[in-house]
Amino acid sequence: MSQAIKSPEHEHSSADVDSTEVLRVRDLRVWFQTPKGLVRAVEGVDLDLRRGETLGIVGESGSGKSVLSRAIMKILAPNAHVLPGSKIILNGVDLATVTRKDNPHLWGVDLSMVFQDPMTSLTPVITIGKQLTETLSFHLGLDKKQATAEATRLLRMVGIPEPEKRFSQYPHNLSGGMRQRVTIALAIACSPKLLIADEPTTALDVTVQHQILNLLQDLQESSGMAMILITHDLGVVAGRADNIAVMYAGRVVEKAPTRQLFANMRHPYTKALIDAIPKVSHPSHTRLPSIPGRPPIVIDPPAGCSFALRCASAQSRCLEETPTLQIDPFQPEHSAACFFPLGTADGDAARLRNSEAGFTAAGTPVGNEVMI
C-alpha cells in the first residue's frame, strides 16, 4: 500500500452542509506577535462536528490545542491574530462576523466552555449560587426564585452533595473536584449546543477524573450537545470520543474515527502518544517509551515536517517540504499529514533504510529496537 494522494476538501457549498452540523472550522490560522518573533500557534486547521458527537483533540503541551479552543470561543489574548480566510461556523453563524455586543447570548447559550483550572474560571469573592443565578437570569431571563431553584437543580445534577448548603459557599470552600463540577454546572446551565472541555481533569486525581468524564458523557447523552474534549492523553478520549484529531506544532497531523485511529494509526507521532499510554498488562516498573528530542519552536518555523527531528521515518523530503493531510484511499474518514505513513510500503521502506543506516535524514540516531 502506498501513500494516498487525495487531499481532503476545504470548501462545502450550502447544499452540502449537514443539517445536524454544529461546528465547521476551515483553514484556521492563529498567530501571535511576540518580541522574539511571530508564533504560529494554529496553522491551517479544519474540523467538523455534528450534534451529539464528541471530538477529541490530542497533543502534548504547546501543540496548539488550547489556542484552538480559545479561537473558537473568541477569547484570545490581545496579541493574537486570526488570519483572514479563517472560518469558524457555529450553527450556520460565522463567528468572525459576530461580537458579544451583537449577540450576547451566543456565548453561554449556543457555545460554552469548561476550563482546566476551576479556580481561574470561578470568581473567588462571589458565592457559588450567585455565579450560577447571574448566568441563568442574564441568558434565560429567570427571576430570583426560579434562578435559585434551577441553580440548586444544576448543582445536584453534577453530583454536588448538599447543594442547598454549597449554594451559599465560596469556591475556596470546595475541593478541586467539586469546583470542577461547579464549572460544569455553569457551562451547561443554558443547555449549549457545543461544549468545549479544555483538559477538564488535569488537576484531579484518577478517581475524580473518571467521575468528571462520566458526568460530561452523561450530560451529553441526555441533551444531545456536541462536545470537544481537549487533552494531552489519548487514553482519556479512547472510549469517549467519536473522532480524534491529533495536533502537533499547531497543525492537525492525523484525523480519524477513534477505533480506526487506534487500530490503524498512520502518523509516527500518533503511535508515539499511544505507546506512551501505561497498560495493565505491563509488568511493574516497566519503562514507557518516550519521544526523543523536544517539541519544535513555532516562532518563524523553517520549512519541512515539524516532527522530522524526532521521527524514525524521516527522509530528506521531510526536511524540505511540509506535509498536508492526505486521505487514506482505503479508509476515506482517515487522513494523516505524513510523506511516509505507518503501515504503508513507503513508510516501511523509510524506517528500514533509517534502521540500516543507524540514523535518519535529520541525523537522529536510530537503533534496532522498536522505533517511534
Query: Hey, which bits of 15-106 come out as E strands?
Result: 21-34, 37-50, 54-58, 80-82, 87-90, 93-94
Q: Out of 136-140, 219-223, 308-312, 368-372, pick the least confident.
A: 368-372
pLDDT in tens, 32-56: 988 888 899 999 999 999 999 999 9
Going by pLDDT thresholds of 50, 70 and 90, the confidence category of residue 17 is: very low
Query: Which position has the higher pLDDT, 233 or 327?
Result: 327
Burial of 260 (C-beta count, 10 Å sphere; 0-12/13-18/19+): middle
Q: What is the pTM of this model?
A: 0.88
pLDDT computed for residue 39 by the predictor: 92
Instruction: Return the DSSP state at 242.
Output: S
> Cα separation of 329 and 98, whole Å?
38
Q: What is the pLDDT of residues 303-340, one digit of tens each?
A: 899 999 999 999 999 999 999 999 988 889 999 999 99
Whether the per-residue pLDDT at 24 is higher than 50: the answer is yes
Q: What is the pLDDT of residue 13?
A: 39
Average pLDDT of span 265-269: 95
Which residues, in sequence order, are CB contacts of 237 under 8 Å at separation 6+?
54, 56, 58, 229, 231, 244, 258
Give CA–CA dist 231/61, Å, rounded: 9
Banded pLDDT at 371 (limits 50, 70, 90): very low
Domain with CATH 3.40.50.300 in the chain: 21-248
Specify the pLDDT at position 10: 41
pLDDT given for residue 14 in this prediction: 38
Strand duo 251-257 + 331-336: pairing: antiparallel
Segment 288-313 shows an average pLDDT of 86
Mean pLDDT of 186-209: 86
DSSP 247-284: EETTEEEEEEEHHHHHHS--SHHHHHHHHTS--TTSPT
- CATH number belonging to the domain at 21-248, selected among 3.40.50.300, 3.30.230.30, 3.40.630.30, 3.30.40.230: 3.40.50.300
Residue 203 confidence (pLDDT): 67
Q: What is the DSSP string of 102-170?
A: T-TTIIIIIEEEE-S-HHHHS-TTS-HHHHHHHHHHHHH---HHHHHHHHHHHHHHTT-SSHHHHTTS-
What confidence category does residue 65 fall into, taking pLDDT thresholds of 50, 70 and 90? Answer: very high
Instruction: State percent of the chain over pLDDT 90.
Output: 59
The reported pLDDT for the residue numbered 18 is 56
- The mean pLDDT of the chain is 87
Ranked by mean pLDDT, the top range of 24-28, 236-240, 280-284 is: 24-28
User: What residues contact residue 105 under an 8 Å CB cut-off, 6+ apart?
Assistant: 139
Nearest to 185 by CA among 237, 108, 240: 108
Name residue 293's amino acid.
G
Q: What is the pLDDT of residue 145?
A: 95
The helix or strand, by DSSP H or E, that contains position 221, with its residue range, turns out to be: helix 206-223
Q: Is the pLDDT of residue 12 over 80?
A: no
